[in-house]
Amino acid sequence: MKTIAIAGATGAVGKQMLECLSEQGINANIRLLASARSAGKQIEGYTVEELTPESFKGVDYVLGACENDVTERWMPWAQEAGCVVVDNSSAYRLDEKTPLVVPEINPEDIFKHNGIISNPNCSTIIALMALHDLHDLYHINDVICTTFQAVSGAGVKGISDLERELKDPDAKPEAFAYQIAFNVIPQIGGFDANGITSEEWKMQNEGRKILHAPELNVNCTCVRVPVWRSHSESITVRCEKPVDLDVLREKLANSEGVKLTDDPAHNIYPMPIDTTNQDLVYVGRLRHDPADPTGRTVSLFCAGDQIRKGAASNAVQILKKLIEADEK
């Protein structure tokens, strides 16, 4: 039987990965790794071990769920041990030798790996799940997107900021620059000289790589909102060709991993409360831009659980395809 290690197993994404492994029917020996602080903790009957240079001996696959600096420290140890890593950090996403994969969109890229496969940014996965059919049908040139990102997107510290502030609005924030309870914060990541944040760049840089669309332009505003879980996004795209919304609806209704929730007459549209704790990305509010008479500009709203499809379940889907190919 193969051995899978989860690096960062005590975090928001790592814990979810363990659940996704059994949900997706992956039978393996499991090792849970985290910092020395967590060594000895019990999760689902497994004992957490401290991640050390020896941790990856005898491990076939690693699911990475640590921040970039921690990941960059242990990645050479995993490579040295011959493991194939599916990593959730952004450390290797734009590396030329590292595929960046959403299995419903570019599964063929998985097998071009050089020992590491990166899982894309959570908002990027959710946006592209909503957009890739539109891109296939009408070729997207430009995207304007505003994200509404849940506190759990910042890991366990993000969740505990909101928990503490709901009890005591004077509690000092730790994960965010400002109080998030009863507030929204239009900053995720650091700003560059042009006033664009690192999180905002990810959708263009990663979107181009996943869609194999080097000309794609994305103008993104990322906003943290006081929602526990599931990111939502308001997206407007300009396409090469006029968009037939009925054709698009038909395509989305049959798209793997997508649920079309687009019935404004009955107040049906995507909301994060409905997408939490499941893997589908909901897409709705489909409409033409009335200011564009050519019919090439379309707006939509989407939502998806960023710890699941935006991170853990996407990574486990990739791992499952790797294991299936290795077992053939």
Ligand X SMILES: NC(=O)c1ccc[n+]([C@@H]2O[C@H](COP(=O)([O-])OP(=O)(O)OC[C@H]3O[C@@H](n4cnc5c(N)ncnc54)[C@H](OP(=O)(O)O)[C@@H]3O)[C@@H](O)[C@H]2O)c1
In the bound complex, which residue of the shown chain has the CB atom lying closest to ligand X? 11
The closest alpha carbon to 12, from 180, 189, 185, 161, belongs to 161
Q: Taking CB under 6 A as the rule, does residue 19 contact ligand X?
A: no
- The answer to whether 184 touches 162, Cβ cutoff 8 Å, is no
Q: Taking CB under 6 A as the rule, does residue 12 contact ligand X?
A: yes
Q: Taking CB under 6 A as the rule, does residue 13 contact ligand X?
A: yes
The count of other CB atoms within 10 Å of the CB of residue 181 is 17
Among positions 43-82, residues that touch ligand X (CB under 6 A) are 51, 65-67, 70
Candidates 2, 23, 24, 35; binder of ligand X (CB under 6 A) is 35
Q: CA-CA distance, 261 to 133, in Å (whole number)?
A: 16
- The answer to whether 323 touches 26, Cβ cutoff 8 Å, is yes
Q: CA-CA distance, 122 to 203, in Å (whole number)?
A: 9
The count of other CB atoms within 10 Å of the CB of residue 37 is 10
Q: Which range of residues in 21-29, 33-41, 242-250, 274-282 is near ligand X by CB under 6 A?
A: 33-41
Candidates 98, 306, 313, 317; binder of ligand X (CB under 6 A) is 306
Q: What's the start-to-end Cα distance of the chain, in Å?
A: 14
- The residues annotated with a catalytic role in the active site are 122, 231
Candidates 106, 124, 147, 152; binder of ligand X (CB under 6 A) is 152
The DSSP code for 308 is I
CA neighbours closer than 13 Å in the CB half-sphere of residue 216: 25
User: In terms of CB distance, is 120 or 284 closer to ligand X?
Assistant: 120
Q: Taking CB under 6 A as the rule, does residue 162 contact ligand X?
A: no
Q: Taking CB under 6 A as the rule, does residue 38 contact ligand X?
A: yes
Q: Taking CB under 6 A as the rule, does residue 211 contact ligand X?
A: no
Candidates 4, 14, 134, 276; binder of ligand X (CB under 6 A) is 14
> Given the rule CB under 6 A, which residues bind ligand X?
8-14, 34-35, 37-38, 51, 65-67, 70, 88-89, 122, 152-153, 155-156, 306-307, 310-311
